Amino acid sequence: MILSVRNLEKSFGGLKAVDNVSFDVIEKEIFGIIGPNGAGKTTLFNCICGVYQPTKGEILLKGKPIHNLPSHEIANLGIARTFQITHLFLDMSVMDNIISAFGLKNYRGIFGFFKNCYTEENISKAKKLIDLMELNGLEKVRASNLSLGFMRRLEIARALALEPEILMLDEPCAGLSHNAAEEFIDLIKKLQGKLTIIMVEHNMNVIMNICNRIVVLNYGKKIAEGIPEHIQTNKEVIEAYLGREEDADT
Amino acid sequence: MFLQQFVNGLVVGSIYALTAAGASMVYGILRILDIANAGAYAIGAYTGWLIYGLTGSILISFIGAMVITGIFGFIIQKSLYLPQMKQSAIVPLITSIGLFIFIEDSLRLIFGAHIKDFAVEVPIGNIVLVNANISGIWILILLVTAFLFLILWWIIVKTKIGLAWRATAQDMEIAQAMGVNTKQLVALNFFLGYGFAAIAGIMVGIYYNSIFPNMGDVPAYKMLAIIVLGGLGNPFGTVIAALFIGLIETFVGGYIGFFLPRDAIAFLTLILIILLKPQGLFAKNN
Amino acid sequence: MYEVVVAINIGIFILLSLSLNIVTGYAGQPNIGHAAFFGIGAYTSAILTSKIGFNFLISLFLSGIIAGIVGMILGMISIRVREDFLAITTIGINFVVVAIFRYSPFFGGSFGMAVPTPTVFGIEFNNYTYLSLIYLFIVLIILFLRKIENSWFGMALGGIRNNEEAAESIGINVKKFKIVAFTISTFIAGITGCIYAHYMSFISSDDFGFLTSITILSMTVIGGLGTIQGPIIGAFILGIIPEIFRFVADYRMLLYGGLLVLMMRFQPHGLFGKESFLLNKLVNLFGRGNRW
């Protein structure tokens, strides 16, 4: 159990975006969070990452509570994340975007941050990530000049540069073509077994293909948890999605 | 005495409201701070002065100044701000500062640095009450301001264009997707906003019987403080904030005048409120 | 001698532009009131040397410290405040600081303050001393900035400039770094203010207002935000034009304003900024070694 979410609740004003959600994530598994639009997935995601503080409940990382910590400290504890709309450092090069994350330990304190960031070690580590994410040849390109698919990959590369134990991906396949999504699946499979991956996603093909286990949210509540085969045949899950489609038709 | 000061405060606040309304609305849809809007104040004053010199009619100078300055605003947004939409926020901010300085110095070079008279027979007489003497120019300012804001209110709340404006202020992309012609909206916004500031400038020029190139400086500072206080993008919050500042300046200004200038009040209030409520007094939820 | 005076003036603007660049160029936080800290340094030293009798060196250091402390407070305010509000808040702070200097009898009021000429190690300062001191500082600061650009501090500022949420997600404590950036930037401005005060022998609140802040901002922006060469070249160009073209002196503000507008419209990265047309041409001509 690397991450435990216990009775988590997050309200905005009177609205409960996340309502008494509990689940555990097993170390090194690929874990999916799905649900119709507005189900509270991103809110849950942001609570884990320290962007929101939960109203009630707790989040434990290897047994230690992290739900009251700010994002930069959660990054220090080994959780890296990507964003639904890419949050790259747009005026910096691909290389700089990746190297920036290597500074994790040095950003703390007072004097560590004057150390040189362009060490041989960092540069070679960055080049390995560039290989892994297939960004070769783009090292000097300004991040704002990349296409969407490459931007997504760069953001994952930057997250991996934190050398995290948990990699959290927020709708990594949104807006990607079928082929690009397939490429993404291959990429994730390369990471399988090396670290824990938690993924919010709408693309069912991707989710069912990669995830070991899945949790399903609807209207802020957990309605199912289990392996893909069980989720696919779960009555409540089907109703949650189909029910929404019916509403949309009328 | 109190009534006199109260009306005085409202008058001062009205001028601020007119000056700040345009910038507040521009922020509402473009999310940029247009400091040059205070330049429109000075342009309006000089234009009104010129037209009055030619025609002798207050009405024509008001309308003429409003239209001419409004057109200037239209040109500014078309040539400068619209093309900068995709840049980071600091770019239009610096542009507006540069533009403001350029406007003021141009006025100085064209008209000379010395103060000019702007003597006008205000066709409204004074109202003399038991405890207050309300001069005609005060009444003119209050009436014109109320009239203009009534029109603005009607446009925003009751017309299709107003609806389009409110939609764009919420989310420009979606409004565009819904078919709103945002370019027209921005143009209209600048035209009105600069026009309002122009009227404020003329009326102040008449009130103090003086116009000079740097007359926009102090209003510029205060305008900034006021639109933040009123909640950026909310023109009616801006009006309330403007009246609020006008009243505070009038009542408190006399008392603290010995160690800080009246003009610092707007900023001190701003700094205080920002510390307590970082979104401003009436911010829309963002 | 005339050239020395021009060189000193330009040197002072270089120091101010380089220091402003830390906050506005690297960290992306608009500070339109930098002259206030220049003024705080100047007045601090004026008071310490003329009214309390501290010697110049201690006073130099303290001017930086006091300006840095006020800058730190501004940094803390900047955290609570959104980017567009920040610009206005800095203008407001500039205004209030100048008002305090102008209306307070302690600071000489509207008459200003006389500042004694320092004597250090038995040597009385003259223009050449000031010139050397200023350019010594410029060299030190350039070295410091180069270190920043290649360090995690520079990365952190770059992260903050581009996307604060993302910066937090990679371990950057945005609040801390904003405060540090403001403190360093205003410390340097404070020291510059001290040197300026003694060089001029007389200071008044007019020197430290909005117009001066805009001048400093113009130089940084026109030269190129976020680089070392940008502010230096910008300060040089805008500083030298009124000297070369005497008749331009009367049109100075018009020139600055117009240049700002044109630059922002057509070359927002400045003449020698990272993406500028000129810089790219130069790079193609001379080539450039990569940092990596």
Lowest mean pLDDT among A186-200, B139-153, B160-174, C67-81: B160-174
CB contact under 8 A, A107 and C154: no
Interface mutation target, options C148, C169, C291, chain A, most CBs of A under 10 Å: C169
**pLDDT (tens digit, 9 = 90+) per residue, A65-119?**
999 999 999 999 999 999 989 999 998 999 999 999 999 999 998 888 889 999 9
Lowest mean pLDDT among A137-146, B54-63, B236-245, B269-278: B269-278
> Does any domain span residue A85?
no
CB contact under 8 A, B31 and C214: no
**Domain span at C67:** 2-210
User: Does A55 share its domain with A170?
Assistant: yes
Predicted ipTM of the assembly: 0.90
**pLDDT (tens digit, 9 = 90+) per residue, C263-279?**
888 888 777 776 666 66
pLDDT of residue C277: 64
pLDDT of residue A195: 93
> Does any domain span residue C65?
yes
Query: Would you call C166 an interface residue with chain B, using a CB distance cutoff of 8 Å?
Result: no
User: Does A211 share its domain with A138?
Assistant: no
**Domain span at B25:** 2-216
> Does any domain span residue B254?
no
With beta carbons under 8 A apart, name residues in chain C contacting A111.
Answer: none
C221 φ/ψ angles, rounded to the nearest 5 degrees: -70, -45
Say if residue B228's pLDDT is above 90.
no
> Does any domain span residue A28?
yes
> Does any domain span residue C61?
yes
pLDDT of residue B136: 83
> Does any domain span residue A84?
no
Number of domains in chain C: 1
pLDDT of residue B232: 66
User: Does A139 share its domain with A155?
Assistant: yes
Residue of B120 and A138 predicted with greater confidence: A138
CB contact under 8 A, C171 and A103: yes
Say if residue B131's pLDDT is above 90.
no
Residue of C84 and B96 predicted with greater confidence: B96
> Does any domain span residue B130?
yes
> Does any domain span residue B283?
no
Say if residue C290's pLDDT is above 50.
no
Question: What would the mean pLDDT of B141-165 be, rounded to a whole number?
Answer: 89
Say if residue B286's pLDDT is above 50.
no
pLDDT of residue C21: 95
Residue of C27 and B230 predicted with greater confidence: C27
Cβ contacts of residue A177 below 8 Å, gap of 6+?
none
**Domain span at A199:** 1-78+165-181+192-250
Q: What type of residue sits at position B232?
A: L
Comparing CB atoms, the residue among C80, C87, C225 nearest residue B93 is C87
Sequence-distant contacts of C125-133: CB under 8 A, at least 24 apart: C125/C56, C125/C198, C127/C1, C127/C4, C127/C5, C127/C8, C127/C199, C128/C4, C130/C8, C130/C195, C130/C198, C130/C199, C131/C4, C131/C7, C131/C8, C131/C11, C133/C195
pLDDT of residue C280: 66
Contact present, B73 and B193 (Cβ < 8 Å): yes
Query: Would you call B64 an interface residue with chain C, using a CB distance cutoff of 8 Å?
Result: no
Degrees to nearest 5, angle at CA B171 with B166 and B177: 100
**pLDDT (tens digit, 9 = 90+) per residue, C160-183?**
999 999 999 999 999 999 999 999
CB contact under 8 A, C151 and A107: no
Number of domains in chain A: 2
> Does any domain span residue A186?
no
> Does any domain span residue B261?
no
Number of domains in chain B: 1
pLDDT of residue A250: 43
pLDDT of residue A217: 92
pLDDT of residue C68: 96
pLDDT of residue C159: 95
Give the domain CATH number at A26: 3.40.50.300
With beta carbons under 8 A apart, name residues in chain A contacting C147.
Answer: 114
> Does any domain span residue A83?
no
pTM to 2 decimal places: 0.87
**pLDDT (tens digit, 9 = 90+) per residue, C27-68?**
989 899 999 999 999 999 999 998 888 889 999 999 999 999
pLDDT below 50 — which residues of chain A? 249-250
Comparing CB atoms, the residue among B80, B103, B224 nearest residue C265 is B80
pLDDT of residue A75: 95
